């Protein structure tokens, strides 16, 4: 059985195999958890993201990483081994496919972790900051997506939901109780 855990804190401090970043489609670093991850990881991570973004944009894919998709990189100076950059949807009322795109972030991040042989993965509460996704919906959908995907990611033994704010922490505590 894979363990599903919730902790309250700063995801940049965790010694897990992979930390998931709530990235933006350009992979260039922004505010919130993305900014915290890039600040803590240092310039090597930014440079790797820049290279991936340039290659993908040159390949005609449009955005380097469209909402719902994810890419994996090294982790620079972070204590984890890899960073998985997943781009969440911006909340626009829920009728624009947001639930499927949010689920897709969690699913693709777990499948990348599986492919890379990573056993422990920490997720932030994707889209619930600047992107405005209602926290209760996001928490339920994130958990459902993770539970649905785990059978296809048998190497992932531990999933940690890292909540920075008290509201998300309370929601996850309740849902995982
Ligand atoms: P998004 O653009 O996907 O909404 P944000 O970074 O604005 O991304 O917010 C996503 C979530 O990350 C929010 O719930 C926010 O409280 C949380 N967050 C911000 N900083 C950190 C951090 N250092 N560690 C973990 N979570 C964080």
Q: What is the distance between the alpha carbons of residues 19 and 158, in angstroms, rounded to a whole number?
A: 12
Q: Are 25 and 65 in contact (CB under 8 A)?
A: yes
Among candidate residues 71, 56, 57, the one with its CA nearest the CA of residue 21: 71
3-176 fold: 3.40.220
Please tell me the distance between residue 36's alpha carbon and the centre of ligand 1 in angstroms: 9
Is the model's pTM score more than 0.85?
Answer: yes
Which of 9, 12, 16, 33 to probe ligand 1 with, by most ligand atoms within 8 A of CB?
A: 33
Among candidate residues 103, 37, 32, the one with its CA nearest the CA of residue 69: 103
The one-digit pLDDT tens for each residue of the chain (177 residues) are 899 999 999 999 999 999 999 999 999 888 999 999 999 999 999 999 999 999 988 887 688 999 999 999 999 999 999 999 999 999 999 999 999 999 999 999 999 999 999 999 999 999 999 999 999 999 999 999 999 999 999 999 999 999 999 999 999 999 999
């Amino acid at each position: 059985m894979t363990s599903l855990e919730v902790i309250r804190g700063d995801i940049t401090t965790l010694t897990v195999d992979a930390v998931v970043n709530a990235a933006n489609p350009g992979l260039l670093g922004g505010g919130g958890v993305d900014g915290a991850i890039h600040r803590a990881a240092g310039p090597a991570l930014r440079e790797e993201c820049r290279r991936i973004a340039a290659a993908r944009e040159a390949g005609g894919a449009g955005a380097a990483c469209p909402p719902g998709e994810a890419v994996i990189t090294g982790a620079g100076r972070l204590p984890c081994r890899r960073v998985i950059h997943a781009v969440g949807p911006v909340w626009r009322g829920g009728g624009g496919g947001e639930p499927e795109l949010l689920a897709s972030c969690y699913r693709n991040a777990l499948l990348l972790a599986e492919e890379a042989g990573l056993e422990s993965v920490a997720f932030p509460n994707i889209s619930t900051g600047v992107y405005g996704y209602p926290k209760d919906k996001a928490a339920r959908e994130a958990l459902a997506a993770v539970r649905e995907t785990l059978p296809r990611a048998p190497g992932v033994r531990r999933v940690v939901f890292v909540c920075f704010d008290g509201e998300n922490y309370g929601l996850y505590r309740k849902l995982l109780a």
